[in-house]
Structure 1
């Protein structure tokens, strides 16, 4: 039996501002923004990822203080290009750090407006062999 990690709850204080940050600045896809009398949540997915983030006001989200999630990790094939994209979109990103010369040993980081932090790891092998093949991508039968 497969056990797949498909959603991570990220605690935020302002849903609209967080949607704008993750969608417009980081470049995640907005899968849905759902509001009714019981809740308001949004799901966003990084390009090429099988795991999404969910932000909003569900009980599990309200149990965590905004900004309390630290060290979420994204993987890219080119850290310099990824960092340049984020900086161009107005995100303050740390300098690139090489902690090991082998593939997978290069990182930089950034934080969302609430202080939730992200590490971005470079794995060059992902350029030729993505974790999820392009033809298998898409959410909810897209």
Structure 2
């Protein structure tokens, strides 16, 4: 049986500001922005190429303090290109960091060990890792 992670709730303080950051700055696709009347609102976005979406919400998602989500991770095949794209889009992103040594031969020295880090406007923390080939 396959078990797939499809949605991660990201706690934010301002839905419109977060929607703009994820859609415009990060280039996530806006799946829907649904106003549930007095019950709340849900905004769902999906990173390019991903099958897992994020949900920003009010009233119908678990209550978590804005900015409390740490350790979300995106994977890209080319970290240098991803870093340049984030900078071009105006995202405050760390320089490329190498974490440890690769345990096996890989086609690129950043595979598995290359990362960049950024935060959304609320302080939720993201990592981007390079994996160009899976073993």
Same fold by TM-score greater than 0.5: yes
1:48 paired to 2:49: yes
Q: In angstroms, what is the RMSD of aligned CA positions? A: 1.3
CA distance in 2, matches of 1:19, 1:69: 16
Aligned residues: 125
For residue 127 of structure 2, the aligned residue among 111, 119, 128 is 119
Bigger helix fraction: 1
CA distance in 2, matches of 1:79, 1:13: 29
CA distance in 1, matches of 2:3, 2:77: 25
Which residues of structure 2 form unaligned runs of 5+?
103-110
Which residues of structure 1 form unaligned runs of 5+?
127-142
- On the 8 A contact 2:47/2:53 being kept in 1, the answer is yes
Which stretches of structure 1, 4 residues or longer, exceed 6 Å deviation after superposition? none
**1:39 matched to which residue of 2?**
40
Q: Match of 1:124, SS?
A: coil
Deviation at 1:100, TM superposition (A): 3.6
CA distance in 2, matches of 1:66, 1:49: 24
**1:21 matched to which residue of 2?**
21
**2:66 matched to which residue of 1?**
66
